[in-house]
Amino acid sequence: MQTITINEAISQAVAEEMRRDPAVMMFGEGVATKRIELLNEFGGKRIRNTPLAEGIIAGAAAGAAAMGMRPVVDMLFVPFMTLAMDEIVNSAGKLRYISGGQFSFPLVAIAMTGTGWTVGAQHNHNLEAWFVHSPGLKVVMPTTAADVKGLLKSAIRDNNPVMFFLEMAFTYETGDVPDGEHIVPLGQARLCREGQDISLISYGKTVSACEAAADQLKEKGISAEVLDLRSLKPVDEEAIVASSRKTGRILVVHEANRMCGMGAEVAAIIMEKAFDALHAPVMRLTSPDVPAPSSYPLELAFTPQADSIVAAASGLLAYPGKR
Amino acid sequence: MNEILLDRTLLLSMLETMQLIRYHEEKVIAMQAAGQSAGTCTAVGQEASAVGVVSALDKDDLILTNHRSAGHLLARGADPARIYAEVLGKATGYCKGRSGSLHVSVKELGVVLTSTIVGAELSLAAGVGLAMSMRDRNNVVTCFFGDGASCEGSFHESINLAVTWKLPILYVCENNQWQAFVHRKETMPIKHISTWAASHGIEAITVDGNDVEAVYLAARKGIAHIKATGQPYFLETYTYRLRGHYEPDDQGYVDKAELASWQAKDPIERMYAKLGFTANDTDALRKRISMRIDDAWTQAAADPYPPLSDLTSDVYA
């Protein structure tokens, strides 16, 4: 076991995959500058800085991927991806289908988002649901160093475009990562904590808030299960349904805002596949429908915290039913 | 230019391909008018640009094109029946009927990643060129786009990256003077896109896009430049879109005198005259190609539609 930061986990995953497969390369704004260890090992052909132009970064990745390369691109902050939507959504996401399967797009687009660095709404916007809604793309959002490394390796090996979203506030957080080859498959949720009374289903930064909430609930004698989706597309329906059937009370928690967010999809999956097991309506706890604030106290108010999760969970547990 | 510079066999072959493209597109126009086909975007009048450039390429060179792709595809040797099958949404189309007329790719012919999003071909070409250069292949990537795409940010982003990274891309701007329903005079202060391109430090020239011989020679020069210097090259073929943005389109917004002046510069008529075709020779060639086109349409019309199971396949690899 090694203890490394999330940022180191990214470099480690990329380096290992580049050693394994000569088609893997990485580029983006500052990639060769900020990941000097990769530049030193692999050289300027495979590790490149780019102009500050998100459209051409993503377009170059899509074109190269279709011709057999496996590019990893750093788009920096998620809202910047709005300048690359055509390349990601219309090209990488659709041209396989449109062409009758003649091309595939094995690329990874890394970008960070979320509160914590007080950067405001044009650097912080949890847009993951946009990409989940776009056919042809896969979407992950891991939060531990081990998951970041393991999922990034899977994403690089995947033959489809994978949007790899990260919590910017966790960039330099450390975590334990198994030594040697460590792979986490796409599409598998992580059961963080087993429980019997209520399921807290989340992804991203709010997973750790759910775990803190579970600690508080335990003191009240309530056993909460915490599920980290990690992959949003494909999403682990089996794990969602299994947890829902087990507890019958589900709170979905995420930092992205509510309407048409991932929580709505999770709630619908539960209604379709575990309705008969429910003791209460599936509830969502999310940020409000506002641009992300910059001021730190407002950031804290924007993001679901352990206390608000405990309050929402308590409401669900009090819901009339056959508990 | 009346002097014949190229081998007559090559010129005859290019003339025949231009005539094939013209009749191919006119057939779709007629079938659309007859209610037997969806509307399409044509490049009638731009045949010399497609044929001149594509004839100059090696078989391992790659091509990116756009929604006005029939000329590029046919010049590359695509089967008209399979393009028609795509227009009609048939299973025998090059993209299994998934493309329709707007984004036909034919990987086996090196026509890759056709996108109908104006400007997307430019950003994708950078990636295709990157893959080519990563593999040290001595081939070129040709990217066809128009004056409309040149107004997109991707035009500048792509050329800047290609020059900076020394990507082997032959940019071919078919300046047909129309950006959907708007004349380029309304949207840009300059006449020639090569002016914009040159400011990025790329070797850029403009050629008479209705002279297939001139286009061919310019493309050869550009390809030689790319191979000698490792730098991209920019070729603007100055031409004119003789039909509307799509079919049907009454072209009510088109200046009639301007249209007539370009009809008088028809690239196909020019080649018949240049090569000294008699009326009988011309009729014979036209009749032969016309029959081939009619047969192709008949075949595509009789081909099967895709199975409904195709609705959900080929989304993920």
Using one digit for the tens of pLDDT, what is the confidence trace for B69-120? 999 999 999 999 999 999 999 999 999 999 999 999 999 999 999 999 999 9
- Active-site position among A8, A16, A29, A54: A54
User: Which tokens is A249 given?
Assistant: 């009370």
**Distance from C-alpha of A8 to C-alpha of B12, rounded to nearest angstrom:** 62
Is A254 marked active-site? no
- Active-site position among A17, A87, A123, A167: A123
Residue B163: pLDDT over 70 = yes
Contact present, B75 and B54 (Cβ < 8 Å): yes
Question: Is A48 in Cβ contact with B165 (below 8 Å)?
Answer: yes
The whole-number average pLDDT for the span A155-164 is 98
The whole-number average pLDDT for the span B131-160 is 96
Residue B1: pLDDT over 60 = no
Residue B137: pLDDT over 90 = no
Q: Which residues of B touch A90 (CB under 8 A)?
A: 115, 117, 120
Cα within 13 Å of Cα(A110), Cβ side: 30
User: How far, rounded to the nearest angstrom, does the alpha carbon of residue A320 sit from its chain's CA centroid?
Assistant: 34
Q: A92 to chain B nearest CA, in Å? A: 10
**Distance from C-alpha of B143 to C-alpha of B61, rounded to nearest angstrom:** 11
Residue A321: pLDDT over 60 = no
Please report the residues numbered 280 through 299 in chain A whose beta carbons come closer than 8 angstroms to any beta carbon of chain B. none
Cα within 13 Å of Cα(A195), Cβ side: 26
Q: B125 to chain A nearest CA, in Å? A: 6
Q: Chain B residue closest to A51 (CA)?
A: B161
Could you tell me the CA-to-CA distances from B214 to A206, B11, B19, B222 in Å, in that order?
64, 11, 18, 12
Confidence (pLDDT) at A153 = 98
Q: How many CB pairs under 8 A join A and B?
A: 147
**Distance from C-alpha of B301 to C-alpha of B87, rounded to nearest angstrom:** 10
User: Which tokens is A222 given?
Assistant: 């309530």
Look-up: residue for tokens 């924007």? A302
Confidence (pLDDT) at B2 = 64
Contact present, A69 and B131 (Cβ < 8 Å): yes
Using one digit for the tens of pLDDT, what is the confidence trace for B237-261? 999 999 999 999 999 999 999 999 9
For residue B203, report the phi and psi dihedrals to the nearest 5 degrees.
-65, 120
pLDDT band with cut points at 50, 70 and 90 for residue B271: very high
Which residues, 6+ apart, have CB-to-CB distance to A111 below 8 Å? A74, A75, A76, A77, A78, A80, A81, A163, A164, A165, A166
Contact present, B63 and B140 (Cβ < 8 Å): no
Q: B119 to chain A nearest CA, in Å? A: 10
Q: Which residues of A touch B165 (CB under 8 A)?
A: 48
Is A123 marked active-site? yes
Q: Chain B residue closest to A49 (CA)?
A: B165
A100 touches chain B (CB under 8 A): yes
User: Which tokens is B148 given?
Assistant: 């409309």
Share the mean pLDDT of chain A: 97
A52 touches chain B (CB under 8 A): no
Nearest to B236 by CA among B266, B292, B263, B196: B196
For residue B158, report the phi and psi dihedrals to the nearest 5 degrees.
-70, -50
Residue B4: pLDDT over 90 = no
Q: Which residues of A touch B113 (CB under 8 A)?
A: 62-63, 66, 91, 95, 99, 103
List, in sequence order, every residue forming a beta bridge with B179; answer none if it has no partner: B182
**Distance from C-alpha of A248 to C-alpha of A232, rounded to nearest angstrom:** 22
**Distance from C-alpha of A200 to C-alpha of A221, rounded to nearest angstrom:** 16
| String of DSSP letters for B33-78 | HTTSS------TT-HHHHHHHHHTS-TT-EEE--SS-HHHHHHTT-
**Distance from C-alpha of A16 to C-alpha of A156, rounded to nearest angstrom:** 11
Q: ipTM greater than 0.85, yes or no? A: yes
User: Which tokens is A19 given?
Assistant: 């050693």
Residue A322: pLDDT over 80 = no
Could you tell me the CA-to-CA distances from A198 to A203, A252, A278, A318, B157 in Å, in that order?
16, 11, 11, 11, 51
Lowest mean pLDDT among B1-10, B150-159, B198-207, B277-286: B1-10
**Distance from C-alpha of B147 to C-alpha of B136, rounded to nearest angstrom:** 31
Residue A245: pLDDT over 90 = yes
Look-up: residue for tokens 């580029």? A27
**Closest Cβ–Cβ partner in B103, B126, B313 for A60:** B126
Q: A76 to chain B nearest CA, in Å? A: 18
Residue type, A242: A
Map residue A244 onto helix, strand or coil. helix
Nearest to A156 by CA among A302, A46, A81, A277: A46
End-to-end CA distance of chain A: 42
Q: Which residues of A touch B92 (CB under 8 A)?
A: none
| CA angle at B108 for the pair B295 and A134, rounded to the nearest 5° | 100
Share the mean pLDDT of chain B: 97
A90 touches chain B (CB under 8 A): yes
Q: Indicate which of A50, A97, A104, A139 best probes the interface with B, i.e. most B CBs within 10 Å of its own CB.
A: A97
**Distance from C-alpha of A284 to C-alpha of A258, rounded to nearest angstrom:** 7
Q: In sequence order, what E strands does B203-276 have?
A: 203-208, 233-238
**Distance from C-alpha of A113 to C-alpha of A81, rounded to nearest angstrom:** 11
Q: Which residues of A touch B130 (CB under 8 A)?
A: 60, 63-64, 69
Using one digit for the tens of pLDDT, what is the confidence trace for A109-143? 999 999 999 999 999 999 999 999 999 999 999 99
